Structures are given as structure tokens and as C-alpha cells.
Structure 1
């Protein structure tokens, strides 16, 4: 099983897959890679081998191999030659008590370089870091590399500054950053870690995701206090970021004060090569966008004249 799993890991690493799925089907287990180009079914094992492989993974990730019914989480530091990977393992059984495994591959930052196009948009994002304060927000589909983009600009365009990250979970390993991970079991959610992070007085904070109203308000207040904050939001466009934060109850005037950049990116393919299509709005373009959004919202809320 060690050799079998090693071969799966080597192939996944070569594809730069973000996840490996081992799922039961009608006559065994299928192995699926998820990468920038999408889902790829790569192997099929009979039931005996599939179950043995899952036991090997669970044992190596310090999970209970005798427990099948309840979901479990595990971790594993894995080496492929000189390449270091951090594996996050999740197991769950279906209604027939057949286990499935999902393995998230967490690469070192230097092993996770994407191709951003057009290049001037990435440079525009990097230039925003010179502002030293404010809120930069990035949206995009799951798996489009939002966190990698934020890590890349912070790693390559910040010198001698303290960068603190808060994620759920940590997706990239960057030893030069102070990386904190959400742990709800220990009552350390985004809100608690954000409050703790402010006491460390970092120059820049990278927040994995703004996913609720309380986090949104704390992030905005932190940006108002003079911090530069980079974060991601689930939205379908740059405009969607605004509506998402407004839905969280963040006042218009505060958004106009703190937001210094909005971006949207998606993973694209050309000639079987993947790249990140990044579009940023900052400076004059951002100001015009914010004015348009504010006017549109004010008009929508205005009472309609009766006929």
C-alpha cells in the first residue's frame, strides 16, 4: 500500500492537483484528481485494495482505522524526494458504510506558482501593497487560486514586514509568515483570531475568507485602524464583492473609506495550459465603480413615486 499510495502522490504532484478523492462505486473504489484543469479519473481499485489503501492513509494520518461510521480528520507530512507536502485528510462513510477519503495537498509556496494573465493586472495588485493600509478583496470560483495570488504578491513585494495570515484551513506553507488556523473546537474562529492578531500589530494581514457579518465588520474596523488587509470573498464578480459586504451589513461610507482594490479571477485554459485571468479595479476605476454602486443602491432604495 505504501508503494501504491506513493505512485498516486507522485502523479498528483506532477499535475499539481489540489485534492485526491478515493470514492466507492458499484464494484470498488475510484481515484480522482482535482486540479486547475478540472476533475480527472485516474485509477480504479477493487474493493479489497481500495479498503486497504484507505486504512493505510488513515493509519498514517493518525486517524482511527477501526472507526468507519463517524467522520474523521487527519494530517500527514509527506515527502516526495525533496518536495515537502502537507496532507489534510478527511474521511466519511456513505449510507452503506463504505468509506471515502479526500486528501487536500498543501504545497510550499515556492512549489505553487501560477501563470497570471494579463501581467499588468498582477502588477496592479502588487502596487496596492505600497499603500500600507486599506482593504484589498479578491473574489473567484473555488480552486481559482485566490489564496495563491494573495500569497504571491505578499511574498514577492513585501520586504522586512510582518505578515500574519488567518485561514480555515491553511492552504499554503509560507515559513516567512505567521500563519494561524481556525480551530472551532478550541473556540478560535475567524473573529477570535482576528482580535488576537491585532494585538501582534502586523504590517499586513491575509484573511482566508470573509464568510460572515461579524468577520466582515472586524476586518473593516481593522482596516480603518491603519492595517493593510488582503482577503477573499465568495462573489461572482468585483461588483458582487460590494453586494456581499453590504449583505453583511457593512455601511456604504465605511466601504468607501477602506476599500482600495477589488479583484476577480478565474482559472482558464489555452492550448491545454492553465492560467489565471485576473481583473483588478483600483484608483480612478475603483472610485468610479464605488460611486456607481452607491448610486445604484440609493436609487433602488428610494421610494417610487405613485402614479
Structure 2
């Protein structure tokens, strides 16, 4: 089977089985192909190194990455066409000490797929939706793959449907395509950085601005500045819990006085396996415009209402 068909088959399998990631890693004299389903990893098969290297090259070509460079970290994204439609992927590659490339493919959701989002405690999302009412900065944190972007998009789509607003997004890459929003993608090769794009987007006078991720001091400063000038800004930031978000911003040098003025909401979330139907659902911990939840109490409620198992309860307590 030719490389293109094999690659297509691997990607389509991930979509059908609702995997979050596909991995190609070198192991001894071969490559291992694995899929991630939230917290579980399935070792699918091993293939010869020669074939794996061709698959990696083809994937990098699709994503517009430098196929000649094997050592440096590279990221890219692509839209994959299939018989049943199309889907988007984000790719990340790097070479190991033996100059063998590894590649990780993240399957990105479409705007339509986010409608199938599950919640461990459904009332939490309704509470969050009603609480996001004021202009200012709203930050979402949680592990990679916890659905932070999906939560942001669901909230903003609701706001857009109720009252047509101009929504501008800046992401690296665009994770969820939604044709009602003006979407920009970071490309540092041509100086389209978060910083430069935020400056340009503010001239569009958006009602809502989505910044994919706060990664550094400069982006943090621009995000806070946008919120202080009267914009509604949504973004994500890496933090281990709700309380750590403020500490991360202070570490980036943001004055506490400015945060007191513009920070309206902090949401921490994780994806847990639910007991009721085997699906995975989001559990939130939030502090939004005076509405407060407690992670442990939410876990207690989920366990007592038989939404999660004792095993899951113990892991996240």
C-alpha cells in the first residue's frame, strides 16, 4: 500500500475512534504507532523505520513543514480530505539524539463537533454560561487536551447567536474553524506573532477577542492591555489549578492592580471518564464574576450522583 493511503488510513482511524492524538515514535529498529484517548494510550502497531520515515515526511509536507530539517522542533497544521468530509490536524515533530524523527498529530474538532461535548455535572456549564456577562479577561486552564478551546468556543458561539458580535481569534494553529469568526493563525516565519496580531486585531475593534494561549510575558501584557481598554478577551494559560492562574500572570510581571481591574473569570477544567455511559466529560472549577465553585466539592457531587467511579474520584481528589 502506498504511503499516502497508509497515512490516510491511520488518520481516518483516529477520527473514527475519536482519538485525541496519534503518535509515531522510534522504538529500537522500528517505529511504534499509538493513539491517545484522553488518559489512555493504545499501542496500535509497529512498522519498519523506512516506512515510518516516509509517513513522517508526507505528514510534514501536508502541514507545510520543512521536510529537509529533522533535528529542530517544528509545528504545523493541515486540513485532511476524506470520503466522508474533512478534518484538521496539528502536527509537532522533533529529532532524537540518533536523528530519528518523532511526530505527534493532534486531531482538532470542528465547530459542529463541539456540540457533542459532555459535562460531568451539566449544571456547571449552564452556571458558567450565565456568569460570563461583563467585559474583561476570562482565562481557561487545564492539562493539554482538556478541551479549553472547546469551552471558549461554545461560550462565545452562544454569545454570538444571542447578539451578533464581531469575534476575532488568534491561534497557533486555528483549532476550531467557525465561519462566523474572523480567524488569524500565528506564523512566526513571516512575523505574524501573537504580539503583532493582537495589535492589528485591536484596530478591527472586535467585541470579543480570542487569544489561543498566553505563553510569555509579552503576550500576557498585550492580553491584559486589550482587556483594560474595554474588550472582552478569552485566552488559555497553563496552570495546575484555578488558584495558580493568578500566580502565572504575576510571574509574567503583570501588576496585581491591573489584574484586579480586568480579570473577570478563571476556569480550570479536566476531562474525566464518566460512569454512566463510558463517555468522557468535562469537570470545571471556576471563579467567574463572583460565582465560585470548589473542585473537591464538585468531585464529591459527581461521585455521590454516580457520574464517576470511585477509581476516578480517587485519582482526581
Q: Name the TM-score, length of structure 2 as normaliser.
A: 0.81
CA contact 1:207–1:230 (8 Å) conserved in 2? yes
- After the TM superposition, which of the residue ranges 52-61 and 15-24 deviates more from structure 2? 52-61
| Compared CA separation, residues 97 and 260, structure 1 to 2 (3 A) | closer
Distance between the aligned counterparts of 1:30 and 1:260, measured in 2? 45
For the residue of structure 1 that corresponds to 2:174, the secondary structure is: coil
- Superposed displacement of residue 75, structure 1: 4.4
Name 2:279's counterpart in structure 1. Answer: 273
Name 2:300's counterpart in structure 1. Answer: none
Please tell me the root mean square deviation across aligned C-alpha atoms, in Å: 2.3
Which consecutive residues of structure 1, in runs of 5 or more, have no partner in the other structure?
Answer: 287-307
1:114 aligns with 2:92: no
| Compared CA separation, residues 233 and 64, structure 1 to 2 (3 A) | closer
- Aligned pairs for 1:49-60 (under 5 A) are 49-60=51-62
- Superposed displacement of residue 119, structure 1: 1.9
- Aligned pairs for 1:182-197 (under 5 A) are 182-197=186-201
| Compared CA separation, residues 262 and 57, structure 1 to 2 (3 A) | closer
Return structure 1 stretches of 4+ with deviation > 6 angstroms.
Answer: none
Distance between the aligned counterparts of 1:251 and 1:64, measured in 2? 40
Question: In terms of Rg, which structure is larger?
Answer: 1
- Aligned pairs for 1:159-198 (under 5 A) are 159=161, 160-198=164-202
Distance between the aligned counterparts of 2:262 and 2:205, measured in 1? 18
Q: Deviations over 1:92-125 (max 9, x none)?
A: 3323232333223233221244212322221232
Which consecutive residues of structure 2, in runs of 5 or more, have no partner in the other structure?
Answer: 293-317
| Compared CA separation, residues 13 and 135, structure 1 to 2 (3 A) | same
217, 221, 228: which one aligns with 1:217: 221
| Compared CA separation, residues 239 and 39, structure 1 to 2 (3 A) | same
CA contact 2:268–2:286 (8 Å) conserved in 1? yes
| Compared CA separation, residues 285 and 123, structure 1 to 2 (3 A) | closer
For the residue of structure 2 that corresponds to 1:150, the secondary structure is: helix
Q: Name the TM-score, length of structure 1 as normaliser.
A: 0.83
For the residue of structure 1 that corresponds to 2:55, the secondary structure is: helix
> Number of matched residues?
285
